[in-house]
Amino acid sequence: MINEKLEKAFNDQINAEFYSEYFYLSMYAYFDRMNLQGFKNWMNVQMQEEHAHAMGMFNYLNERGGKVTLQSIEQPKSDWSSPLEVFEDVLKHEQYVTSRINALMDVADEVKDRAAVSFLDWYLKEQVEEESNVGNVLKTLKLICNDKNCLYMLDKELATRTFVAPVIG
């Protein structure tokens, strides 16, 4: 049976992961309105990853005999001034998620739940990759400034990203 404090922390993180999915869905809608299909695809892949992350924790909590308690999902932002602003928000969001995963790991350490620590190690490594991927797109957007030809080329590149279901844990 999982510790009660850790169970609550997992439920809070499950909510945060589902919020992330919702957040990326909002960005997907934004890029769809802008007719930037590659950017929309990038957000779709991100959205699927966040759903997989939430379900990984959901299933883990169930496997450990915990109770999953779904919570309300906060309404995400829905308008941005540019693709650059979107990716600035994405980076801030992923850094926030990293801090949340670290805090969850702290609870697992505090209650001496080595299985949870081991499980969460995958999520910490995933966050390094998430921040790096976002950072790379952000650097490119800053480099190209408002060059529409370059934005078009980046859109075509982002269209090639595909979702690969993660093996969590």
14-37 residue pLDDT tens: 999 999 999 999 999 999 999 999
What local confidence, expressed as pLDDT, does residue 86 receive? 98
Residues 6+ apart with CB under 8 A from 31: 37, 39, 40, 43, 83, 86
Answer positive or negative: Cα dihedral of 77, 82, 86, 89: negative
What local confidence, expressed as pLDDT, does residue 91 receive? 98
Q: What are 77's two structure tokens?
A: 């932002």
Domains with residue ranges and CATH for the chain: 4-158 (1.20.1260.10)
pTM of this structure: 0.95
Question: Which residues of the chain fall below pLDDT 50?
Answer: none
Residue 118: DSSP 8-state: H
